[in-house]
Amino acid sequence: MTRSECNARNARSTRLLTGLALLAMAAAAPGCASKKPVLYPNSHLERAGAEQSQRDIADCIQLAKTADLEKSKSAEAAKSGAGGAAVGAAAGAAGGAIAGNAGRGAGVGAATGAIVGVSRGLFKASEPDPLYVNYVNICLREKGYQIVGWK
């Protein structure tokens, strides 16, 4: 096998692995975004009961969604992946140049950087936007609830 054929095969393998990793992380992301407020057991919660308090939480969450306060988490993750790919490509090219194959190093670095960047973006995406959280918290406080935190 010639050197160019080997490089082409390595590039295809790198793209395939990157695509599979990104697909797996994207499939796992929706399960992370379901955090909800936790209510303190005050007298209002006791009077309202579990069913009513869950309806009130759902109403406040819907109001926050209607106000369009959630950022596009998938877009943020993609931006993070693109940034990671650029940094990884530069680092990989530098390392590859030292080892004698800047192109291959750049490809491996870009793939690694993209995976790390998207992973970081998806981890951030699992946390609700602070503006969204504050909106829901205020809505619930106005209804008489006390919020301990989110989980």
Q: Which of 18-27, 46-55, 89-98, 122-131 has the lowest mean pLDDT?
A: 18-27
Residues in contact with 136: Cβ distance below 8 Å, sequence separation at least 6, in sequence order:
37, 57, 60, 61, 63, 64
Portion of the chain with pLDDT greater than 90, in percent: 37
3-state secondary structure of 145: coil
* DSSP single-letter state for residue 129: P
Quote the pTM value: 0.50
Instruction: Judge whether residue 15 has pLDDT over 90.
Output: no
